[in-house]
Structure 1
């Protein structure tokens, strides 16, 4: 039996539909009734029905609004609309909302059987498709892991074929948007696009895995245009979230000549997309283009490389004490990473390890000299290195870290001063009229929100947002005293998004409202 819930604001109608129609004969069981769309959504969360029969005109949330919400959040649920109004506009909007049937009140038995018999058939077809897809997904999962390969010998071993794995990684995107809905949409687009090439797909973790098969060798020249077409399709259908190339990256393994080698192509694809860490511009990275084995013989040079850079950076930092911190560190950082890249094309883990080692040695040497670094929390610093997911960001972060150390060295007579707090204050004073949030300033300083919030509160005795509001109110006081601007205009000028919030904050800071203050 398929589960259905009935939604209607008139109790006698929903009771009649629930109890006097032969639901079992068409393969359905009524598992709940609701009197409006909001109540229906709660019921849907509990029961997860296969279908919903809903009235159009209801208070709180209409049937069409409910249908749109179901289409967005529960696209697998079928919706049938019931209306007392033979109005084509309702039918049009219902179709746009993805409904599977449109019935008029009073519902006739023939209409009931026609609509729900077809709906039950559609649900059965969906189940068959799901089973086929599930079997294909399990097989693809075994192939990329190299598990249970013998059971697929008959399926893949009949013909000589070429295989190639591509991985579309959406790790960064899923940090920014609701994972379930966007994942579902990407899966639908991927199935529609790749099915035309008879290509298998699987969502695994935060990545879409694409397995291409062909009787001929699958070359880069053959596969690359298709990947770009699919990326264009994602951008066309999903808008701004795919405009930024950093939101996703594609890694492509080398061709495999047997199905037993698919796992090798998959591992190469994983390795290839990890190279996004080193690239600022590439979206699609082929394993064949990487110099994987190029300079492995030079790994022995790493200790000398590290010692040389530690000495150079330490000397530069000590010089910054004499020049009051006005030294540039960008070139030193670039040279550090460029050299490390040349030593065997170090894996990401070793790049991070080198960066950690550099920081630890520098901190140890300054401690030996009796120099204090109040802005540097070693545990936080080392943890941050392993959270940054691109070489470009790591360079920026290390440059700022060296500038922070330089600040601390330059202000040894003010051992309690934290440079992050001063930088945040300077930013607020220069940009109070712009939108400033705790998240924005933390990102700008390469710090966790919680960590920055804690050090700011410890240093100043107040929350960061309270400090921002304090600065804005101080600027507003000057404008109220010295200009004739309207209070709402002043509210906008000093960066408040809401006039009522401005009034509230101003009164908290000064004891009076802006209107009373101006009259004093």
Structure 2
């Protein structure tokens, strides 16, 4: 039997304990995974433990039950809310129908009434889960949701096999609407190494595709198709800068898929383009971004525009010599991948060259690609060529092993410079974020969103690299910095606590006191008394 997680929220400890003790949770198919004394604490617990059901009182300090319900629904629309309300609050609570409250239960709490309510809720949750995990329906959905002609069109489009003059004809013939002023490709990769019991990798991928459509419907105008074992999403954008919000939405989907299915989904997002014919370049960028999961980790969204060092573009190679695998390995920076890509390139060169002239011509093309790659990424090829003074003359005299060794050395050297540029870019972002906190911590509106907007990066990417580099989340860093400034003001001025709260970015003095006590284990007044004169 499936067990659902419950969070209890009430500012009276005896009420929380009474609810927990008087209900046979296990028999009903639930478990209490946490208790909170107010809405602020409940949001912290909910973010970490992801409850299926929240039972909350209305009247609480800092954040009342209806405010909590609204915030919970924004973070996780699927969470079920049960409101505990006194008789005098009942009509007020029922006005909040837009919050999609599951039940309103009058105080004092009747154990039988609450148990019956939980039984009904369990039936609803079971039916919803069964519907989503029904393998037979997923197989039928797979058959119905992949129109062959549309899929073939999109596959041909990202492969560059459709001429510009034919695109509109195919769009009309296959009834495909792409109305966006701008377009972008996102590639959803579902790991085959994390498959829940009773599912196959194929069916898991299908269920993920179904949920992508469900979650993004109404928010984004997208088209979907399967390609090379992944789900590709083509998004219509009204404005070019909407790509940041799309990146964050994809990141939230990855976390939701892990929580609900146990599926590890990673999304690579390509650059924005303004022509349907250029979608193949956006797809190439998305695929490139997806390969960076070996650096940034799986289960998140990765935007190629975020990870490319500032001012550096990813070079495009012509079709005559396929250097993409080499340059992809150079960007990722894994030595074994670089060696393998170079080995494959040299082997292909040797296998395909029919004459010595053709061999030399192709070798010179490789050198030319390396020159252009360095130029496109603001580097000097000569800095990476080693002892070779004139590559166009000396490289054609190398035998196979010498050529391979030289290409590996050059590729590794270029990769190191790219990595240093990327790390420099990361350090710059972190430094700028800290400067913003230092200069604007007193602004109550300062948040993760405003900082990311100033820096011009997506929330998901910035949150990931900030925690990786600093060791704590950005919100924790901002809170700690504000608390440090508050301590200075307490010990060095005679300002009232509410004045100090305003000076460090808190409009609500009570909430400031709550955060301060959570940080230092005592109220601001007690802290000032104990530390004055030390």
TM-score by length of 2: 0.36
Q: Rg larger in 1 or in 2?
A: 1
